[in-house]
Structure 1
Amino acid sequence: MYFTSLPNHKEIGFDEQLHFSKFKRHNVIFNAISNLSYCERHVGCLSIKTVVSGEEWYNIDNREIAVRPGQFLMLNDDQEYSCRIDGPEKTNIISVFFSKDFSSSVFRDALCNEDTLLDSPFESIGKAPEFFQTLYNNDIRLQQKLQNLVLSLNDCGYDNDRVDESLTFLLHDLLCAHKAEVHRVGRVSAIKPNTKTEIYKRLCIAKDFMHSTFMYKSDLSLMSQTACLSAPQLIRQFKAVFKTTPHQYLTQIRLAYAVRLLKHSTMSVNEITLACGFEDTSAFCRSFKKEYSVSPGSFRKMI
């Protein structure tokens, strides 16, 4: 199923039960543009959330996560969440919901050997992989698959077989992204596997917190409280896993956003300083030049 507009859950006569029942039976794709949308509660299936422009906010387990261009968010089966778009800028979202039967069959094909698949081609996989519900970098290959899928849907309409083929390869890429996250879990300084996984999940909460609030003054104490890790443990484990400290990671987020604004906006350097959360223009220019070897003004002229 393919939708090019977001439903208005508050519209008179809107049947939420009917709407959400579709996600259990079908793969569902949204490609929509909106500057005002709100879903108070959704218990969905495995899904990927991306935006081409603007931002969409999700509330998962009482934490707020902003999805912006260049990132995607994974949510697992039966995860309760809410989402909203309420900024002045229009947001172009692309979300894909995978039905449980479909995703299970793809995961079984990806994770079982060929002999097993030949002997029992139609068995279920059992327990499906549990994705880390965190922000991922939207690499070029994955982004291209999503863009090609949307272009095909717009040009040729929804054909179930063609879409299922595209979603099969998309799920394989998402599984590769998940395996990369599992590899990072191994970097956590702990002995028990369950402890490693739990610490990694909390580090991801801190990472998502920085991505979502980078425009505000940094607060290591608040970040550690949000992640339920002491500040020293957060710093030590974050460096072990992501090869950089939380402060350095936050600076990278801010500089990446500054580059986007220098390329795609007419905002002044002073305005960009404030938008990116730097204390003052001098600090912004020093950090930018250290990272890119040119000043922000010179960088803009080079584009």
Structure 2
Amino acid sequence: MGTSRFPLFQRNFVLQARSTTHHWEGTGPLSLKTFRNGRAYYKTKLGHYAVEREGYLLLNEGEQYAIAIESETEVDSFCVFFKNGFAEEIHRAVHLGIEKSLDDPFSETTHPLQFYTKSYRNSHLITPLIESFKHSLPVLGSENLWVDEQYQNLIQALLNVHQKMAQEINTVPGTRPATREELFRRLTVAYEYLHAYYSQNVSLEEVSKIACLSKNHLIRNFRHFFKRTPHQFILEKRILEAQRLLAQTESSVTEISLSVGFDNVSSFNKVFKQRTGLSPRMFRKK
């Protein structure tokens, strides 16, 4: 595994690759990570993250992280890196308004923005921009004006998502903003761990220790914020992945049941039918 540190980036850029194996560790600028046809695992001081087709990961400027890809098939990556100060520049322009921006359009902010480090579900705000950028880049990548507009649009959308997330955090129980922020951070650690290791036999004690929350607080607040218990979340993730494998692969029902975390195929069949209304074999045939 290589270890390095990014220099101070002076430009925005995209890294697009395809690989079955990749390991890297270091720090970087603000970046948005997306992957298709497989998973990439990230680890930061805040927690564990699995990034796949259904979402993206956002890492802050200067954040230390490690990435690992180990796959039998090639995993497609499309990662967008933003130069230092770029998000702050756009944030300042949006919040100062046109008059103050006209008075001093090129002033710099001294403190980098801190987005919420987490994996985000695909959304109408971000996903269409990423897909359009990725598919048009081979044709329009030499057009500097078009490329610059894509980075601007993405940061603006990320700022909108960040604002919506801040509003959601205000619904977390707690009397002080700092308390709500910290509780949300710990709940996110639990969520990301469950998302990354849903196919393993994770215990409540294990998750509560990782999130630094008591079992009672974890279950109660996880349900409040994510609208399901940790176990319900894992079951939902397992069934969704099983549906994908049934539709896109020729693996047997037994192989799929084991790969998504069920101890035996009979339990898998029962839970799958309860949640979808069909047996795995009938689901595959439809």
TM-score of the superposition, structure 2-length normalised?
0.92
From 71, 85, 94, the counterpart of 2:78:
94
User: Does residue 33 in structure 1 map to residue 18 in structure 2?
Assistant: yes
Number of residue pairs the alignment of both structures matches: 286
Q: Which residue of 1 aligns with 2:276?
A: 292
Distance, in Å, in 2 between the alignment partners of 1:62 and 1:88 is 28
User: Does residue 243 in structure 1 map to residue 261 in structure 2?
Assistant: no
Does the CA-based 8 Å contact 1:107-1:128 persist in structure 2? no
Where 1:59 maps in the other structure, the secondary structure is strand
Q: Which residue of 2 aligns with 1:175?
A: 159
Q: Which residue of 2 aligns with 1:275?
A: 259
Distance, in Å, in 1 between the alignment partners of 2:245 and 2:204 is 26
By how many angstroms is 1:68 displaced? Answer: 1.5
By how many angstroms is 1:136 displaced? Answer: 0.6
Where 2:107 maps in the other structure, the secondary structure is coil
Task: Please give the residue correspondences for 1:126-141 in structure 2 after superposition, counting only pairs within 5 Å.
Answer: 126-140=110-124
Q: Which residue of 2 aligns with 1:106?
A: 90
The unaligned stretches of length 5 or more in structure 2 are none
Q: Which has the higher strand share?
A: 2
Where 2:79 maps in the other structure, the secondary structure is strand
Q: Cα gap change, 1:158/1:84 in structure 2, threshold over 3 Å: closer, same or farther? A: farther
By how many angstroms is 1:141 displaced? Answer: 5.1
Pick which of 70-79 and 121-130 moved more.
Answer: 121-130
Q: Which amino acid counterpart does residue 273 of structure 1 have in structure 2?
A: S
Q: Which residue of 1 aligns with 2:250?
A: 266
By how many angstroms is 1:202 displaced? Answer: 0.7
Q: Cα gap change, 1:112/1:285 in structure 2, threshold over 3 Å: closer, same or farther? A: farther
Distance, in Å, in 2 between the alignment partners of 1:297 and 1:109 is 55
By how many angstroms is 1:288 displaced? Answer: 2.2
Does the CA-based 8 Å contact 1:107-1:125 persist in structure 2? no
Q: Which residue of 2 aligns with 1:200?
A: 184
From 136, 141, 144, the counterpart of 1:160:
144
Does the CA-based 8 Å contact 1:52-1:92 persist in structure 2? yes
Where 2:151 maps in the other structure, the secondary structure is helix
User: Does residue 71 in structure 1 map to residue 48 in structure 2?
Assistant: no
From 137, 161, 168, the counterpart of 1:184:
168
Where 1:84 maps in the other structure, the secondary structure is strand
Distance, in Å, in 1 between the alignment partners of 2:18 and 2:33 is 14
Q: Cα gap change, 1:264/1:141 in structure 2, threshold over 3 Å: closer, same or farther? A: farther
Distance, in Å, in 1 between the alignment partners of 2:251 and 2:124 is 27
Distance, in Å, in 2 between the alignment partners of 1:47 and 1:298 is 42
Where 1:65 maps in the other structure, the secondary structure is strand
By how many angstroms is 1:265 displaced? Answer: 0.9
By how many angstroms is 1:207 displaced? Answer: 0.4
Does the CA-based 8 Å contact 1:65-1:209 persist in structure 2? yes
Q: Which residue of 2 aligns with 1:44?
A: 28
* Root mean square deviation of aligned Cα: 2.1
Where 1:121 maps in the other structure, the secondary structure is coil
Distance, in Å, in 1 between the alignment partners of 2:125 and 2:168 is 21
By how many angstroms is 1:236 displaced? Answer: 0.8
The unaligned stretches of length 5 or more in structure 1 are 1-7, 11-15
TM-score of the superposition, structure 1-length normalised?
0.87
By how many angstroms is 1:115 displaced? Answer: 3.4
Does the CA-based 8 Å contact 2:41-2:68 persist in structure 1? yes
Q: Cα gap change, 1:197/1:141 in structure 2, threshold over 3 Å: closer, same or farther? A: closer
Q: Which amino acid counterpart does residue 167 of structure 2 have in structure 1?
A: H
Pick which of 50-59 and 180-189 moved more.
Answer: 180-189
